[in-house]
Chain A
Amino acid sequence: MEEMKPVLSIKNLTKHLSSKLILNNISLDVMPGEIFGFLGPNGSGKTTTIKVVLGLLSLEAGEVSVCGYDMRKEPMKAMNCVNGIIENPEMYKYLTGKQNLMQYLRMYDGIPESRCDEVAEIVGLSARINDKVGKYSLGMRQRLGLAQAMLNRPKLLILDEPTNGLDPVGIKELRDILKRLSHIEGTAVFISSHQLAELDLMCDRVGIIDRGNLVAVKTMDEIRRLNGGSVSEYLIGTEEPGRALELIVAAGNTAVIEGNLIRVTADTAKGGKALPEMLRELILADVRVTSAAPVRHSLEDAFLEITGSYSPDKRKAVGI
């Protein structure tokens, strides 16, 4: 199989704004067809990275190439195959949705006018596309923003906080649209958000940025097995918590009772027992087990751990 070239390649990107270091030596690649989540606390440099990639801020040090085109040498070719939303997608309020789309459509060459209706259809705005944008709700403006970002069938779609103002249904639709774009049409999606739960559900890979440093790039599988190796965590529900706890601790695990559930942390390397073995032991001991489930690590856990934001003051700082 032919080796895939990254759609977005950032190498050693460093950026100062007003002599303050905002991005420090960032390097990452985004491959075709993947949804790449870009996470970080407020002020960590997410939007700055996006702005440099899209040419809104100058490229100070490092290299950025989009679809193989260097942003310094061939910016127009690069911009032709990328599109996106940066912060809130502000539109011309005195124009209708359609007229707004037409504004952007005319900035590309060789895209037929019918593409406006197509993208409006995809984001579910067809009914209101001829209304003035001034009358749109925040969610509708987000949808229109997404619509314009798809106008030129970009190979790389960059979305900065796209779920802002969307209702749960809108978020679900956005997720479906993005999944289809990436997994079926092969578009690479670079998405930054603080809605960790949302990214959790759609991303293939995430990069975590903290105070201008890219601290981790991991696949979602790696995130889920965050602690990795020998340690696992699971919950067991039982009608006899006292007896069950004794057995569990006796098997070499650590555990705490949380109501009807026992939270177990097992480290097999230190003689602990993983869920299947422990369950078997409990059943053989005739403990009435009502439920048993492994604890999966969420993106949030990973995020908080990687950015080191567990302590109360840090939590405050990242707004969690």
Chain B
Amino acid sequence: MKGMLKQTGNELIKIWRQLGYRILLFVIAGFMLAAPLMNYFFGRLVEGNFSVAWSEASEDDIWGVYSNTRRQYLYTFFEENKLPEWKQSIYSNELAIMALQLKGLELLVNGKFEVYDVISCFPVNVDDVCEYNNEESESKYYEWDWIVAHYSPEKTKQSYERALGEFNQFTNKIISITEKEVIKEYLDDSEEELTQAEVSLTVAKSKYELENTEKHKIELNNAQKAYDYQLMITEGWRFAYEKGREPLGWEFNLLDELMPMLANQALSCMPVSDSDYEISPTYIEILNIPMPYSIYVRNSERNVKYYEDAIRTYHMAILHNAPLSQAEDISTKGGIRDTLMSFINIMSIFMVVLVSGIISSEFSSGTVRLLLIRPRSRIQIISAKLLASLTVYVVSVAAMTVLLSVEHLIFFGIGDYFTGDVVSLFGINFVIPGALMLFGKIFVASLPVLLYMAIAAFMAVLTRKNAVSVIVSLIAYISASSVKTVVFFILYLMPNLSRWLVYTPFAYTDLTGTVSGAVSIASRANLQNIGALIGGATDLSIFGVNLGLGIFYYIVGIVLFAFLTLLIFKKKQIKS
């Protein structure tokens, strides 16, 4: 053991003395430290720059520009009015939508476009599509990023003035509203929903008593569930209201979004309402799938589970004063996490190169002959190499975490750094402190890195060729997200035939989506963005993948390849 540690020291010295590795590591770390600052300062530079070019942009671009512009706008507004964080997180979405609508109308009124009657100026949203579609079924609504219809200039001007009035009213409301009032508002809505759910339940009960069929039994069951959930949510709000505690962030919006889904489709087998379109206009259009309804109808059982899970999560989040991950795009913790995740991603390439290099170079340079004639077993020697690379990785990530935290504290303030998070593991939700969640995320994100390292080590001892080892490991790295995307499509297209897929390792080749745990509303955002979908940021949690199982598969893979590495190295004949 002592011999192996001494040898690990030897290997670390060798790594450190190789200028190439050192420079590469420092360059990566430097870029990663600069990234948050660059994002911030360049973001300020282009602030509020709404571009007319949108009308010619592709769907994908619009989503990108939309979210950037929205963020720029929000920064300005929040800062000018010095809004507290809870207000920022609650209103950021509505505010951004309104601002964009206003901007679109303004462009129309000023004659930038031909004059149309404006149904909505929000960049294409299915709600708008539906609205428009109902009125004039034969239309090419996707030609515009703002949904517009042919009408008179006066009407447009009226719309603009009305929208301006609404916008001002809304911003004034945001500035003046108190926390208590917000909770009250949500509580009122929630109680109203509860009443509705109660009515539905009563209706279902009487129907069941009258006819007593299997179909009615299911309906009753669903109605009961819907009622239970609504009751739970309402209780959560009431609890918050009675305690007079501050709103917690985006969960309010999310709950707001979630409720109609609970009431309408997720828990029933009824045909789906138009609002289901919301799930994925882009997705549906690009894949040319005629019936978006099928998503819910076909997967309704799984959806129930999904929403049950989500509800439990939100409920817990409210009770434990924990913001949900959606709030990350304006949070300190989120900023650190995002950058760390990018760093870990790049580190996986660096580590593959490093592991392949330190093993294969011993063979290619012939130094292996002098290395192996010592009173140290081959297992000790190769283990020392693996341990040394692991040390490099752990130290790099730890140092980066500290540096990024310090950087964020200096430039962006402490923010939500220490608030709690909701995590889901093996179907159980719990709240953990924010800093701990950071470590959890680092751990999960590191699993693939360790696997690629183990594969690289295995290939290096097997082939003794640096290039082969690096290329094979990088193919594994690159194809991981594609495999998951393929699994996603199979699950999506044949949900009943391919259910077993979520238990195979293929569903876990990329844990990015799964890491967010139970907070699966994110999956809808991902669905809306075909770019993210192809890029592999798909979230399979809607199909019931399990983070715990994913971690298990990764650990099995890492152990397997590490073991094979030791075995092959032990048996290796040093012929040349």
Interface residues of A (CB under 8 A from B): 17, 51, 54-58, 75-77, 79-80, 82-95, 99, 103-104, 106-109, 145, 148
Q: Which residues of A contact B370 (CB under 8 A)?
A: 85-86, 89-91, 104, 145, 148
User: Which of A58, A92, A107 touches B374 (beta carbons < 8 Å)?
Assistant: A107
Q: For A88, what are the chain B residues with a Cβ–Cβ distance below 8 Å?
A: 366
- Asked whether B373 lies within 8 Å of A83 as measured between CB atoms, the reply is yes
Nearest residue (CB) in B for A158 is: B373
Docked Cα-Cα span, A54 to B370, in Å, equals 10
Measured CA separation A54–B372 after assembly (Å): 8
Least Cβ–Cβ distance between A152 and chain B, in angstroms: 8
Nearest 6 Cβ contacts at the A-B interface: A90-B366, A107-B374, A56-B574, A80-B375, A79-B375, A54-B373
CB pair A79–B374 under 8 Å, yes or no, is yes
Instruction: Give the residue name and chain of the B residue nearest to A83 (CB).
Output: B373
**B3 contacts which chain A residues (CB < 8 A)?**
107, 109
Say whether B377 faces chain A, with CB atoms less than 8 Å apart: yes
B367 at the interface (CB under 8 A from A): yes
Q: List B contacts of A86 (CB < 8 A).
A: 369-370, 373
CA–CA, A148 to B367, complex, Å? 13
Which one of A76, A94, A109 contacts B17 once the chains associate, using CB atoms below 8 Å?
A94
Pick the contact of B573: A17, A84, A85 (CB < 8 A): A17
Q: A108 and B574: CB pair below 8 A?
A: no
Question: Does B369 lie within 8 Å of A108, measured CB to CB?
Answer: no
Contacts of A106 in B (CB 8 A): 6-7, 9-10
Q: B1-44 interface mask toward A, CB cutoff 8 Å, 1 = contact, 0 = none?
A: 00100110110011001110000000000000000000000000
Measured CA separation A246–B345 after assembly (Å): 94
B172 on the A face (CB < 8 A):
no
Are B10 and A107 in contact, with the CB atoms below 8 A?
yes
With contact pairs A77-B375, A79-B374 given, residues A57 and B17 touching in the complex (Cβ less than 8 Å): no
Residues of B within 8 A of A54 (CB): 372-373
Q: How many whole Å from B192's CB to the nearest CB in chain A?
A: 72
The answer to whether A92 and B574 have CB atoms under 8 Å apart is: no
20 additional contacts (CB under 8 A) given A84-B373, A87-B369, A109-B375: A17-B573, A54-B373, A56-B369, A56-B372, A56-B373, A56-B574, A58-B571, A76-B377, A79-B374, A85-B370, A86-B369, A90-B365, A94-B17, A95-B14, A99-B13, A103-B13, A104-B370, A104-B374, A106-B6, A107-B3
In the bound assembly, the distance between CA atoms of A17 and B18 in angstroms comes to: 35
Contact residues, B336-370 vs A (CB, 8 A): 365-367, 369-370
Q: Across the interface, which residues of B come within 8 angstroms of A145, CB to CB?
A: 370
| Chain B positions within 8 Å of A93 at CB level | 365
Contact A55 B373 (CB under 8 A): yes
Cα A106 to Cα B14 with chains together (Å): 13
Q: CA A107 – CA B373 in complex, angstroms? A: 10
Question: How many angstroms between the C-alpha atoms of A86 and B367 in the bound complex?
Answer: 10
Give every chain B residue within 8 A of A82 (Cβ-Cβ). 373
Would you give the shortest CB distance from B373 to chain A, in whole angstroms? Answer: 5
Is B150 close to A, CB under 8 A?
no
A95 CA / B16 CA spacing, docked (Å)? 10
Nearest A residue (CB) for B573? A57
- In angstroms, Cα B256 to Cα A244, docked, is 126
Task: Flag if B18 contacts A94 (CB, 8 Å).
Answer: yes
B365, B369, B376, B377 pick with most chain A CB within 10 angstroms = B369
Per DSSP, chain A at the interface is loop
- The answer to whether residues A92 and B367 also contact, given A106-B7, A107-B7, A109-B3 and a CB cut-off of 8 A, is yes
Q: How far is the CB of B1 from chain A (nearest CB, A)?
A: 12
Q: How far is the CA of A145 from the CA of B375 in the complex (A)?
A: 18
Interface status of B243 (Cβ within 8 A of chain A): no
Can you give 13 A-B contacts (C-beta < 8 A)?
Answer: A54-B372, A56-B369, A57-B573, A84-B373, A87-B366, A91-B370, A94-B18, A95-B17, A104-B374, A107-B374, A108-B374, A109-B375, A145-B370
B82 at the interface (CB under 8 A from A): no
CB A153 to nearest CB in B, in angstroms, measures: 13
Q: How far is the CA of A17 from the CA of B574 in the complex (A)?
A: 11
Closest residue of A by beta carbon distance from B574: A56
Q: Which of B9, B18, B370, B575 has the most CB of A within 10 A?
A: B370
Q: How far is the CA of A99 from the CA of B365 in the complex (A)?
A: 17
**Quick check: B377 and A103 within 8 Å, CB to CB?**
no
In the complex, which residue of chain B has the Cβ closest to the Cβ of A160?
Answer: B369
Measured between C-beta atoms, what is the minimum distance from A146 to chain B in Å? 12
Inter-chain CA distance A94–B13, complex, in Å, is: 11
Residues of A within 8 A of B369 (CB): 56, 86-87, 90
Tell me the smallest distance from the CB of A206 to a CB of chain B, in Å: 23
Residue numbers in B under 8 Å from A108 (CB-CB)? 374-375
**In the bound complex, CA of A77 to CA of B367 (Å):** 22
Min CB distance, B560 to chain A, in Å?
Answer: 24
- A208 CB to closest chain B CB (Å) equals 23
With both beta carbons as reference points, the residue of chain A lying nearest to B378 in the complex is identified as A55
Contact with A along B494-523 (1 / 0, CB 8 A): 000000000000000000000000000000
C-alpha gap A80/B366 in the complex (Å): 21
Q: Residues of A contacting B7 with CB < 8 Å? A: 106-107
* A residues in contact with B374, CB < 8 Å: 79, 104, 107-108
Minimum CB–CB distance from B380 to chain A (whole Å) comes to: 9
- Which residues of the partner chain A approach B574 to less than 8 Å between Cβ atoms? 51, 56-57
How many angstroms between the C-alpha atoms of A157 and B369 in the bound complex?
A: 15
- Specify which of A51, A56, A79, A108 lies most central, judged by the most chain B CB atoms within 10 Å of its CB: A56
Question: In the complex, A57→B9 CA distance in Å?
Answer: 26
Q: How far is the CB of A33 from chain B (nearest CB, A)?
A: 22
CA distance A221 to B34 in the complex (A): 76
Contact for A99 among B17, B372, B575, CB less than 8 A: B17
Alpha-carbon gap, A89 to B365, bound state (A): 10
Nearest CB in chain B: distance from A158 CB, A: 9
The residues in B between 544 and 576 inclusive whose CB is less than 8 angstroms from any CB of A are: 571, 573-575
Q: Which residues on the A side are within 8 Å of B13 (C-beta)?
A: 99, 103
Question: Please, which residues of chain B bring their CB within 8 A of the CB of A83?
Answer: 373
CB distance from B15 to the nearest CB of A (A): 10
Which residues does chain B contribute within 8 Å of A104, judged by CB atoms?
370, 374
Tell me if B367 and A90 are in contact (CB < 8 A): yes
Whole-angstrom distance between the alpha carbons of A60 and B379 in the complex? 20
Distance, CA A91 to CA B371, complexed state (A):
10
**Residue in A103, A108, A145 whose Cβ sees the most chain B Cβ within 10 Å:** A103
CB interface residues, B 361-414, toward A, < 8 Å: 365-367, 369-370, 372-377
Contacts of A148 in B (CB 8 A): 370
Known: A57-B574, A99-B17, A106-B9. A91 touches B367 (CB 8 A): yes
Instruction: Give the interface centre of A54, A84, A148 by most chain B CB atoms within 10 Å.
Output: A54
What is the CB-to-nearest-CB distance from B16 to chain A, in angstroms, rounded to a whole number? 10
Per-residue 0/1 for B433-451: is the Cβ within 8 Å of any A Cβ (1 yes, 0 no)? 0000000000000000000
CB B472 to nearest CB in A, in angstroms, measures 24
Instruction: Give CA–CA (A51, B574) in the complex, Å.
Output: 8
Closest CB-CB distance, B217 to chain A, in whole Å?
A: 71
- Rounded to whole Å, the gap between the CB of B567 and the closest CB of chain A is 14
Complex Cα distance, B13 from A169, in Å, reads 35
What residues of chain B lie closer than 8 Å to A92, measured between beta carbons? Answer: 14, 17, 365, 367
Which residue on chain A has the smallest CB distance to residue B9? A106
Chain A: minimal CB distance from B467 (Å): 20
Contact in complex: B376, A76 (CB < 8 Å):
yes
Closest A residue to B11 by CB, please name it.
Answer: A103
